[in-house]
Structure 1
Amino acid sequence: MTDDLIQREDAGGIATLTLNAPHSLNALSTAMIARLTAELDRLAADRATRVVILRGAGRAFCAGHDLKEMQAARAGADKGAAFFRQLFDACAAMMQRLPALPQPVIAQVHGIATAAGCQLAASCDMVVAAEDARFGVNGVNIGLFCSTPMVALTRKVPPAVAFEMLTTGEFLPAPRAREVGLVNRIAAPADLDTATRALAETLAAKLTAAVRIGKRSFYDQMGLPLDQAYALTGDRMTENMLWRDTEEGISAFLEKRAPDWA
């Protein structure tokens, strides 16, 4: 456990981070962003943790930015301009840490994931959602277009779906979010913890080094021209093939036995 805003539990190589501000539906205040950033930085250097689960306490996963904090910043001489830019920059830097982490990150979503909260879920590698969870980038409903959440969203769902969500402010129920690629798996609310943990345990059972090089390669090749993507991943696979544990894994498969990984 780190502090009141972020709670951490570790078991079986899986770190579970819980956003713990249920009174604000786990809003991404400046303090929450700073605490989560610090915890992600610790995880980046953590060799023992193989998988990360990110969840929210209380009734929701995350309701986005703290609107009360943002409105209070308008009292400044610049009407909050410097605060807003600093907030969005800090949030963007935190979001970018999620795909950059060596470990796979699973968002466990219940209740709502709205605006920057939807951005947070979309920035994770995978999402497991309760059947009654809802996802939205609904800032347009209060006159604030979700431009920064749009970055993560448009990298997960088809452009037409993202644009409709952004311009209508309407929510996607979990089954529909799964259909369009925002959610990987759905579960009954009572089974959400179990379903998320099962996926995390599946990932944790793989060769850690292989998963880590695979995650890095997955994001590095995205957006590259086809020939460059193949050149990059060919280099990574060659590196991977030369590992002792990979040689052992292939031998074990061919010999129909469990691998003896170091």
Structure 2
Amino acid sequence: MRPERAAQPPKLKASGTPGRVNMADEIKESDVKEEKEQGKRDFKFIRWDASGVVGHLTMNRPKQNIMNIEMLKEMAKAVESLNLREDVRLILIDSSPECEGYFSMGVGAEGYTAQMVFQMMDAFHAVFRAMSDVSKPVLAVVNGVASGAGAELAAFCDLVIATEETQFRQPEIKLGVFPPLGAVVYPRVIGPRRAMELLLTGDPINAQQALQMGLVNRVVPRSALKETVDSLVKRIGEQSGPVLQLLKRVIFEGTWRPFGEALKKSQDIYLNQLFELEDSQEGLRALVEKRKPVWKNK
């Protein structure tokens, strides 16, 4: 047998050829500029600001942020607008001051009727598909009650900061139904046994219980919420946008796929996508040169 050729370590790539114009890059930069210019706007039921490195989505349907189809479509559209925005590092989801005491009480009663359930579920799941496709870390800031679809939304996010007054509810079993997304998400977030108890009983859990079971990352007093969120956003915002996207994708794939397949997918992304990024090369150069990397988000 002929011996296998040893794999070569990745080489640092040189910068692009000076003076050479790539039309595709020019078009992409034009699209990104347009997205930035339109990044800050108010929809009917949400506020959206993607003018900086954070895509900030604020649910604003006072007082309880009860989700209807139009609101869900607005949320999906806002997240989808980040598809070309490699400079955006993070998506932050919270509720407006007008909704004090509530993150979201979930889908309205009309969403459970036979006439609306298919449209409502499609609109609801479109938000999660958009979050998955954009592949940017998502931080939920929960200050109050998160119930039903509102609790599922928080559970699906990658990071959750909650105030001491926060409460999570999945009461669907008491209505003779169950949360289809929650039944898939919770076992992967808090484990199957805790997920079974949460969904089978429909009992609410407070912020400390959520912290103990791994549903939230931190519980803070309401007075310390802004400082805590700003600090975490700043730390994540200092990293390379494309690298954050690839890391999110690997962790997401690893959470939802069998281990062997997840490992293979992770290896493929690491070798064939991560090392194609200028930022991964810059990170290696900075390590060798013992300096702080300067990200280009490419």
Cα distance, 1:252–1:191 mapped onto 2, change above 3 Å: same
Is there any run of 5+ residues in structure 1 with no aligned partner, and where? 72-79
Out of 265, 289, 293, the residue aligned to residue 232 of structure 1 is 265
- 2-structure distance, mates of 1:109, 1:91: 19
For residue 104 of structure 1, report the CA deviation from its aligned partner. Answer: 1.0
Out of 107, 112, 131, the residue aligned to residue 65 of structure 1 is 107
For residue 225 of structure 1, report the CA deviation from its aligned partner. Answer: 3.5
Out of 224, 234, 258, the residue aligned to residue 191 of structure 1 is 224
For residue 99 of structure 1, report the CA deviation from its aligned partner. Answer: 2.8
Q: Percent identity?
A: 27
Cα distance, 1:225–1:153 mapped onto 2, change above 3 Å: closer
Q: Match for residue 245 of structure 1?
A: 279
* TM-score using structure 1 length: 0.87
- 2-structure distance, mates of 1:257, 1:224: 37
Is this contact kept in 2: 1:139–1:169, CA < 8 A?
yes
Q: Deviations over 1:66-119 (max 9, x none)?
A: 12x347xxxxxxxx4241122112212222322332321101101111111111
Q: Deviations over 1:230-255 (max 9, x none)?
A: 22222222232354332321232243
Q: SS at 1:250's partner residue?
A: helix
Counterpart residue type for residue 110 of structure 1:
N
Q: Match for residue 35 of structure 2?
A: none
Are 1:47 and 2:81 counterparts?
Answer: no
Out of 127, 130, 136, the residue aligned to residue 97 of structure 1 is 130
For residue 194 of structure 1, report the CA deviation from its aligned partner. Answer: 2.3
- 1-structure distance, mates of 2:44, 2:136: 24
Work out the number of aligned pairs and report it: 252
Out of 141, 145, 153, the residue aligned to residue 108 of structure 1 is 141
Q: Deviations over 1:209-246 (max 9, x none)?
A: 11111112222233434333222222222232354332
Q: Deviations over 1:114-140 (max 9, x none)?
A: 111111111211111112211111122
Q: Match for residue 32 of structure 1?
A: 71
- 2-structure distance, mates of 1:156, 1:257: 37
Q: How does 1:179-218 map to 2 (within 5 A)?
A: 179-218=212-251
Q: Match for residue 131 of structure 1?
A: 164
- 2-structure distance, mates of 1:228, 1:168: 34
Is this contact kept in 1: 2:69–2:119, CA < 8 A?
no
Cα distance, 1:249–1:199 mapped onto 2, change above 3 Å: same
Counterpart residue type for residue 198 of structure 1:
S
Cα distance, 1:216–1:197 mapped onto 2, change above 3 Å: same
Counterpart residue type for residue 134 of structure 1:
Q
For residue 10 of structure 1, report the CA deviation from its aligned partner. Answer: 4.0
- Which structure has the larger Rg? 2
- 2-structure distance, mates of 1:208, 1:227: 27
Counterpart residue type for residue 108 of structure 2:
D
For residue 152 of structure 1, report the CA deviation from its aligned partner. Answer: 2.2
Counterpart residue type for residue 146 of structure 1:
P
Cα distance, 1:46–1:2 mapped onto 2, change above 3 Å: farther
Out of 244, 258, 262, the residue aligned to residue 292 of structure 2 is 258
Counterpart residue type for residue 168 of structure 1:
T
Is this contact kept in 2: 1:119–1:150, CA < 8 A?
no
Out of 8, 12, 21, the residue aligned to residue 61 of structure 2 is 21
Out of 186, 189, 192, the residue aligned to residue 159 of structure 1 is 192
Q: Match for residue 75 of structure 1?
A: none
Cα distance, 1:121–1:65 mapped onto 2, change above 3 Å: same
- 2-structure distance, mates of 1:148, 1:224: 16
Q: Deviations over 1:180-229 (max 9, x none)?
A: 11111221112222212221221111111111111122222334343332
- 2-structure distance, mates of 1:34, 1:11: 20
Cα distance, 1:258–1:21 mapped onto 2, change above 3 Å: same
- 1-structure distance, mates of 2:239, 2:152: 28
- 1-structure distance, mates of 2:196, 2:139: 25
Q: CA RMSD in A?
A: 2.0
For residue 17 of structure 1, report the CA deviation from its aligned partner. Answer: 0.8
